[in-house]
A and B are shown apart, each in its own frame.
Chain A
Amino acid sequence: MSDDAADVQRVLAGDVEAYAALVDRYYDRCARFAIRMLGNRDDAEDALQATFLRAYRALNRYQERDRFSAWLYRILVNQCRSVAARRAHRERVFVREEALLLNAPDRSAVWTGEDEEFVQRVLNELDPLLREAFLLKHIEEMSYEEMSALTGVGVSALKMRVKRACDRLRERWERIQHD
């Protein structure tokens, strides 16, 4: 039995503090995804809090044959989407025939290091679905099959999203080059 499964069993047997072990094991990695996805710390913390709470409540539905990280990430991805949708609703401009959804870079973000801020701004410019696929593939380094199971989207659609994300990033680089 993996560490994860053992900890889950302990929690279900009544040892609440055993959940802290799971949180410790996954928090930083989930936080990295949430911040890269949402672009600011406040929203990321909201998503993380909701994720770990939901995971706790749903622990009895976790089955040992699933990888705990994949199971947790499904919750995390959905929570990030919810937080983004709530935020986007607040910020959206009334445009009748708008094209892609572009999230403006968040001015309240506080970062250490210029590079990290720049990278986050670049990521923020990606359409959320493209960003999500790019992060899962190139930051979380999941396989397309894992991503598909996690998001419920087909492998070919995911590959297309990752490709489009990379194309956008590359276009941005080329624009900078020519400025």
Chain B
Amino acid sequence: MSRSRDRSRSNVFAHLRWLPRLVSVSASLLLIALPLRAQEPEQQDRMAKLDVKTRAAVELMYDSAAAEGLPTQPLRSIAYLGITRKADGRQIIAAVRRELVLLRTARNSLGRVDEQELMAAAAVLDAGAKPAQLAVFKNKQRGRSDLSAFTVWADLITRGVSGEDAYSAITRLWDDGADDATFMSLWNNVQSDILRGLNPGTALQNRIREAPGRPPTTKGPQTPEGQENARSE
């Protein structure tokens, strides 16, 4: 059961073709507008703005999360975001529930990792990666933070790179010992190429070949299909 999403990626890139681009060290100087639902800023107390049923449903989900040892902060954050966006109760409940399920699935895939990593992992699943792909990272951290890897992974898929290509690139970099800077550098390069009009998948293929580390082996990494795999433990 997949949630229909308004993927306006292709519209974004169409706009970008026609805008001049300036690069600076601290920030890009481009305004990218994604026109979305109009809303007015509110100053009042926030959770009270939810109707009773929605609030009760959402609080129950916080409790479920807490009982399972899952972080509740991301769920609260989604509720506040929904309130700011003036979403209706059902939409807020659905969004909170989705995040709860994603966190739970991320926990199942990765085991015990800290909250930030879990949230980043949930985003990877949200983007469309399979739990089995995420599970490849279980116990692989060994003191390294996978926040950058997961963030770039989720970004690539969200921008239109295929799940397989993104998984392939991220795991290859990770296994080569890439650090945070390397992942962010990959992201920056792919992003520049996309802004120049390149197809995201192509941009990734080009840039991953340049990435520091061993040249790719002849037998590339494959998605584990729930079976034994050289990577999984």
Which residues of A pack against B, CB within 8 Å? 81-82, 84-86, 88-89, 92-98, 101, 128-129, 153-154, 156-157, 160-161
Contact = CB atoms under 8 A, between A and B. Distances in A.
B101 A92 contact: no
Interface string B35-79: 000000000000000000000100110011001110000000000
B217 to A, nearest CB: 28
B148 interface: no
Interface of B: 1, 56, 59-60, 63-64, 67-69, 101, 104-105, 107-109, 111-112, 125, 131-132, 135
**Per DSSP, are chain B's interface residues mostly helix, strand or loop, or mixed?**
helix
A94 B131 contact: yes
Contact of A97 (B101, B107, B135): B101
Given A128-B67, A129-B63, A129-B67, A92 B108 contact: yes
Contacts of A93: 108
A118 to B, nearest CB: 25
Contacts of A86: 69
Given A101-B64, A157-B60, A94 B109 contact: yes
B166 to A, nearest CB: 18
Nearest to B3: A97
Given A94-B132, A96-B101, A85 B69 contact: yes
A86 B70 CA distance: 11
A139 B170 CA distance: 52
7 contacts: A86-B69, A89-B107, A94-B105, A96-B125, A97-B1, A129-B64, A157-B56
Contacts of B131: 94, 96
A81 B105 contact: no
Given A129-B63, A129-B64, A157-B59, A94 B69 contact: no
Contacts of B69: 82, 85-86, 89
Given A94-B105, A160-B56, 17 more contacts: A82-B69, A84-B67, A85-B67, A85-B68, A86-B69, A89-B111, A94-B108, A94-B132, A96-B125, A96-B131, A97-B1, A98-B101, A98-B104, A98-B105, A128-B67, A153-B59, A157-B60
